[in-house]
Amino acid sequence: MQKILVVEDDIDIQDILKNHLTDAGYEVVIADDGVDAIAKFDDTISLVLLDIMLPVKDGWQVCRDIRAKSAVPIIMLTAKGETTDKITGLDMGADDYVTKPFDVKELIARVHAVMRRSDNDGPAEKKHIFYHNKNSNQ
């Protein structure tokens, strides 16, 4: 089972994300702040959902720290919606950038998409069949 690290200080958003990601088949680890995120990040994490405005250590620094040791996919999930913030996040190594408020179904679809692109464990033939079958039904 793929494991997602959710780095979010809002308990309501933590609960929403945990419930929906678990329903989508992911294991979820919650971190309340940037220091907790770095402590919980290890090689079992498949993707990070990262808020920017966090206590103790902000999401920008968490992104830098993770990128210094890993290419794990990171999706920024934040209220900072200015174009410059989005560009900064993507330039720092985020794979996607979603602004709050967000649609949970869209976020789950983005998680699936980023996970598909980063999945190097499966055989290429299976991936080709998946994409071929998906495209042939259109």
- 135 vs 38: which has the higher pLDDT: 38
Kindly give, in sequence order, each residue whose CB lies less than 8 Å from that of residue 24, ignoring residues fewer than 6 positions away: 108, 111, 112
At 118 the pLDDT is 83
Question: Looking at residues 84-113, what average pLDDT do you find?
Answer: 94
Q: What is the mean pLDDT of the chain?
A: 87
At 134 the pLDDT is 40
Nearest alpha carbon to residue 81 among 93, 95, 98:
98
- Residue 50 in tokens: 């990262």
